[in-house]
Amino acid sequence: MTAVGKAYAYVSPKTGNDFERYAGACGLTSQSELLKLLIARELKLRRLPHSRDLRAGSRQAPLPGRKKITAHLQPGLDDPFSRHIGQLGLSTSCAAAMLVEAELSEQWLASAIEWKPKRSKAVA
């Protein structure tokens, strides 16, 4: 059996509730699935900042009152993500929290779901 890694995002209760509603509005049954999509997207786009470019403050600690969002990652996603964020000096939980917060702001998945291709003119 293949091992499954986990990515935890520790976010405020409001962010956690907003992310849960957003996942549902996108037709997903769990926040975990949405976080996995965001991790896969990050591996393609590589938009997370290096840790040296971040302001002080922690998104990684499981502080009281924070909500934990867990994504179960197969090795095909876990290993590349771990290498990517390691090169950035980020912890898994910090990177995952940044992806959650960015998606709530950008709403990439909702836009992708609503996207309609332009109708091309028929060639005679």
pLDDT tens digit sequence for 5-43: 999 999 999 999 999 999 999 999 999 999 999 999 999
- What's the whole-number mean pLDDT along residues 110-124? 79
- Spatial distance between the Cα atoms of 14 and 17, rounded to a whole number of angstroms: 5
In this structure, what is the dihedral angle of CA atoms 39, 2, 68, 55, given to the nearest 10 degrees?
-40
Please determine, for residue 97, whether its predicted confidence score (pLDDT) is greater than 50.
yes
The percent of residues in the chain predicted with pLDDT above 90, rounded, is: 71
Total residue length of the chain: 124
* CB distance 106 to 20 below 8 Å: no
Phi, psi of 97 (to 5 degrees): -65, -40
- Spatial distance between the Cα atoms of 105 and 103, rounded to a whole number of angstroms: 5
Q: What is the pTM of this model?
A: 0.85
Tell me how far the alpha carbon of residue 61 is from its chain's centroid. Answer: 17
Q: What amino acid occupies position 96? A: A
Please determine, for residue 59, whether its predicted confidence score (pLDDT) is greater than 70.
no
